[in-house]
Amino acid sequence: MTGFESLRRTADRLRRPEYTGENRCLPCTVLNAAIVGVAAIALSRRNRPLGVLALVAGAALISLRGYVVPGTPQFAPALVEPLPVEVGHESPAGVESGSLADDRDPEAMMAALVEADVIVPDGDQLYLDDAFQTAWEERMAELRDLSGAELAARTAAVSHDSVEGSYHDGRVLLAGNRDAWLSQAVAIAETAAVETLADRGLSHEVRVQAAEPLRTFVRTCPVCGGDVTDTTLRNCCGGPGGVSGNPERPVRACADCDAVVFADLS
């Protein structure tokens, strides 16, 4: 293995795409850049080459991972929330969201949903069972009335991993082996879906895997109860989870509050 290949593999192991690129969080980046800068200056006063090395290494880690200080995504939002200026962490309508599931077996999942009478095939079309739709909407209405902290706790409880849930500025953070930020609309819809699917006798794995694709069937907004329609995402926020690379993406969103319920991230 050449030195370049070894360096590339090391970079690949360090890379955290959930915190870089379009998912980069501006407050996390700025906070860590400031910490690296202060540390580099302090080290330079004692040993200039060491200070330069710290600056280069810190910049590389921020570029690859999104942050240097462990746990930054968990405390950076709380630090910037009180500031009187907008620093890019607010999650405006249209910002993409994560999901409860990281991976799934679509064919097995769909077969399980059909067998449990959650999905009803009709020729080439798929429909949601009326009874399940009603129960799901009632569960979403229940979650809609919870506080942010209560919603985060319920969302963490149905997650696929042992995670801790917290609520920051309209989004739920599921902190674990692989952190995930969920918009309020997605957190309510998917938590309600997993809880409602439990009544159909499906395994927890299938329920979590099905939560995201089921959002394509949402009729009422999880956030405000308005009508969900097919529309186009046009705001080009460029912030965390931004859509600056594809500002014309078709989505399903609320006609009243503009909350995005489903966006195809493929």
Would you say residue 89 lies in a domain?
no
132 CB-contact burial (10 Å; exposed 0-12 / middle 13-18 / buried 19+): buried
Whether residue 8 has pLDDT greater than 80: no
Residues 202, 129 contacting (CB under 8 angstroms):
no
Would you say residue 256 lies in a domain?
yes
103 CB-contact burial (10 Å; exposed 0-12 / middle 13-18 / buried 19+): exposed
Mean pLDDT of 160-165: 79
Q: What is the pLDDT of residue 92?
A: 35
- Asked which of 65, 80, 95 is the last residue of a domain, the reply is 80
Q: Are residues 122 and 224 in the same domain?
A: yes
Q: Structural domain tally of the chain?
A: 2
Residues 219, 228 contacting (CB under 8 angstroms):
yes
pLDDT in tens, 74-103: 566 566 555 544 444 443 333 446 777 666
Would you say residue 100 lies in a domain?
no
Please, what sign has the CA dihedral across residues 165, 168, 173, 176? negative
- Note down the domain range covering 54: 3-80
Mean pLDDT of 30-46: 88
Q: Are residues 111 and 22 in the same domain?
A: no
Mean pLDDT of 22-39: 80
Q: Are residues 56 and 162 in the same domain?
A: no
Q: Are residues 156 and 222 in the same domain?
A: yes
Angle at 122 between CA 117 and CA 124, to 5 degrees: 125
pLDDT in tens, 202-247: 999 999 999 999 999 999 999 999 999 998 764 333 332 333 344 4
Would you say residue 92 lies in a domain?
no
171 CB-contact burial (10 Å; exposed 0-12 / middle 13-18 / buried 19+): buried
Q: Are residues 181 and 146 in the same domain?
A: yes
Taking all residues of the chain, what is their mean pLDDT, rounded to a whole number? Answer: 80
Angle at 161 between CA 163 and CA 107, to 5 degrees: 145
Mean pLDDT of 97-116: 81
